[in-house]
């Protein structure tokens, strides 16, 4: 993982404009900061999806209708808090299942495993510590089971539309006619409400982004002066895209020892760190169509802040 980390950092800082992948936010400190983000009053995303699953999981289980064993592969499982609601509904409906949580963070996978077992002690759990794309190669098939690929938390929103279509096409190749894809997607809404979720007054999201520079310093022997960068999120209501940047506050040079390279930053030069795409139903239907998939059912919470989508491939 460390070699890939170094390669991706080298590649991202060598291009113009500079960019770093948000998947590297999640080291030990990053995991803890993200848990704090999810608990913030302004960060509605987790709360809205939790309430949706709390209210609608029984309906979703009925719609899935597995008559045989269900293999659940969750891409980016996190701490499993939301997924537990669906697992409880499956248990109540007396449906057998195996849960395969996937996450790039080994720490958070162990937290997820313990959280699930605390609430659903009988659950069979098989954690997978790889990236989303690598996880698709771990999917197992047999004639006596149905596979459910879960992609909650609006994680698809970390990809722009062309990237999302490419990834959904890969998921499609791993699905049989009886299998399902379940995606949680953040709904387009008031620009002020969206921007507040990524620019909290407490500065937790700022620290979450800046922690990536601390991680590069620590793991790649770099000398980023983190105090000379600011966090800058922007939201475009036309495209539904929220982008986050780290912006250099002065002209400076940064050396990364592990790469044996020095990178120059001009005053106000940015590093793109994250995209958080928001969706409406026509966009979701278009993404499915472009990926050879079909949107079957859509669920939302009472405040209509979030979508949970059940999707199949086109037979």
The predicted-structure confidence for 276-290, as pLDDT tens digits, reads as follows 999 999 999 999 999
Phi first, then psi: give them for residue 256, nearest 5 degrees.
Answer: -110, 105
CB atoms within 10 A of CB 27: 19
Distance CA 17, CA 26 (A): 23
Percent of the chain with pLDDT over 70: 99
User: In terms of Cα–Cα distance, which of 14, 52, 68 is closest to 297?
Assistant: 52
Distance CA 214, CA 183 (A): 32
Query: Count of residues for the chain?
Result: 315
Buried b (16+ CB within 10 A) or exposed e, 258-277: bbeeebebeeebbbbbbbbb
Distance CA 61, CA 66 (A): 8
Residues 75/102, Cβ–Cβ less than 8 Å: yes
| CA–CA distances in Å: residue 240 to residues 55, 190, 257 | 26, 10, 38
Residues 164/294, Cβ–Cβ less than 8 Å: no
User: In terms of Cα–Cα distance, which of 268, 232, 224, 223 is closest to 250?
Assistant: 268
- Residue 67: the pLDDT is 83
CB atoms within 10 A of CB 73: 26
Task: Read off the pLDDT of residues 78-97 as tens digits, 9 standing for 90 and up.
Answer: 899 999 999 999 999 999 99
- Residue 64: the pLDDT is 94
- Its sign, for the CA torsion 54, 58, 64, 70, is positive
Residues 6+ apart with CB under 8 A from 162: none
Residues 82/223, Cβ–Cβ less than 8 Å: no
- Residue 104: the pLDDT is 87
Mean pLDDT confidence for 20-24: 94
- Residue 175: the pLDDT is 97
Mean pLDDT confidence for 198-202: 93
Distance CA 144, CA 98 (A): 13
- Residue 3: the pLDDT is 87
Task: Read off the pLDDT of residues 254-270 as tens digits, 9 standing for 90 and up.
Answer: 999 999 999 999 999 99
- Residue 94: the pLDDT is 94
- Residue 2: the pLDDT is 63
Residues 314/306, Cβ–Cβ less than 8 Å: no
Whether the bond into 116 is cis, omega within 30 of 0: no
Mean pLDDT confidence for 65-79: 92
If you average pLDDT over every residue of the chain, what do you get?
95
Q: Which CATH architecture has domain 44-187+279-313?
A: 3-Layer(aba) Sandwich (3.40)
Helices (H), the chain: 2-14, 28-39, 44-64, 81-92, 106-119, 132-135, 161-173, 191-197, 204-220, 281-290
CB atoms within 10 A of CB 207: 18
Decide the pairing of beta strands 261-265 and 270-277. Answer: unpaired
Q: Is the pLDDT of residue 211 over 80?
A: yes
Decide the pairing of beta strands 241-248 and 270-277. Answer: antiparallel
Q: What global pTM score does this model have?
A: 0.89
**Strand boundaries in 104-260, DSSP class E:** 124-125, 145-151, 180-186, 229-236, 241-248, 252-256
Domain locations along the chain: 2-42+192-277, 44-187+279-313
Contacts 24+ apart (CB under 8 A), 23-26: 23/104, 23/131, 23/158, 24/212, 24/215, 25/208, 25/209, 25/211, 25/212, 25/273, 25/274, 26/103, 26/104, 26/105, 26/108
């Amino acid at each position: 993982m460390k070699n890939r980390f170094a390669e991706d950092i080298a590649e991202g800082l060598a291009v113009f404009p500079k960019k770093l992948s948000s998947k590297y936010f999640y080291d030990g400190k990053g995991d803890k900061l993200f848990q704090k983000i999810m608990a913030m009053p302004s960060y509605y995303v987790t709360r809205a999806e939790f309430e949706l699953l709390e209210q609608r999981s029984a309906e979703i289980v009925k719609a899935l209708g597995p008559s045989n064993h269900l293999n659940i592969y969750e891409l980016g499982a996190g701490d499993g808090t939301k997924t537990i609601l669906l697992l409880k509904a499956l248990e109540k409906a007396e449906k057998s299942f195996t849960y395969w949580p996937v996450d790039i963070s080994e720490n958070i996978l162990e937290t997820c495993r313990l959280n699930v077992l605390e609430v659903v002690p009988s659950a069979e759990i098989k954690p997978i510590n790889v990236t989303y794309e690598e996880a698709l190669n771990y999917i197992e098939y047999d004639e006596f089971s149905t596979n459910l690929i879960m992609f909650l938390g609006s994680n698809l929103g970390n990809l722009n539309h062309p990237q999302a279509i490419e990834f959904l096409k890969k998921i499609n190749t791993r699905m049989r006619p009886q299998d399902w894809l379940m995606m949680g997607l953040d709904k387009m809404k008031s620009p002020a409400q969206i921007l507040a979720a990524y620019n909290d007054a407490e500065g937790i999201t700022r620290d979450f982004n800046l922690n990536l520079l601390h991680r590069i310093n620590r793991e790649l022997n770099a000398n980023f002066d983190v105090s000379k960068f600011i966090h800058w999120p922007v939201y475009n209501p036309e495209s539904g895209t929220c982008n986050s940047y780290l912006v250099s506050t002065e002209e400076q040079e940064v050396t990364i020892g592990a790469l044996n390279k020095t990178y120059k930053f001009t005053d106000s030069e940015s590093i793109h760190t994250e995209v958080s795409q928001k969706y409406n139903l026509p966009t979701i239907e278009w993404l499915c169509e472009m990926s050879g998939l079909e949107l079957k059912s859509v669920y939302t919470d009472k405040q209509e802040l979030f979508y949970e989508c059940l999707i199949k491939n086109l037979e």
